[in-house]
Amino acid sequence: MLIRKPAVSGYFYPGDKTKLIEEIKKYVPLETEKIATIGAICPHAGYMYSGKTAGLVYSKIVPPDTAIIIGPNHHGYGEPYAIDSCDVWQTPIGNVEIDREIRDGLIEKSRYLQMDSIAHRAEHSIEVQVPFLQFINPEIKIVPIVLSSYHDANPWYEIGYTIGLVVQEYKKRIVIIASSDFTHYEEAKQAEKKDKLAIDAVCKLDADTFLDNVSEYDMSICGFAPIVSVITASRVLGAKKGNLVQYTNSGEVSGDFEQVVGYAGILIY
User: Each residue of 27-72: pLDDT tens digit?
Assistant: 999 888 999 999 999 999 999 999 999 999 999 999 999 999 999 9
Q: Please provide the average confidence, as pLDDT, over all residues in the chain.
A: 97
Confidence check: pLDDT of 22 > 90: yes
Domain span at 242? 3-268
Mean pLDDT of 146-154: 84
Specify the pairing of strand 66-72 against strand 141-147. Answer: parallel
Separation CA 44–CA 128 (nearest Å): 6
Q: What pLDDT shows up at residue 220?
A: 95
Question: How many separate domains does the chain show?
Answer: 1
CATH of the domain at 205: 3.40.830.10
Q: Which helix (H) or strand (E) holds 174?
A: strand 174-179
Q: What pLDDT shows up at residue 150?
A: 75
Selected residue with higher pLDDT from 31 and 197: 197
Specify the pairing of strand 81-83 against strand 141-147. Answer: antiparallel
Confidence check: pLDDT of 171 > 80: yes
User: Each residue of 95-117: pLDDT tens digit?
Assistant: 999 999 999 999 999 999 999 99
Write the DSSP symbol of residue 129. Answer: G
| pTM, full prediction | 0.97
Separation CA 251–CA 259 (nearest Å): 8
Confidence check: pLDDT of 152 > 90: no
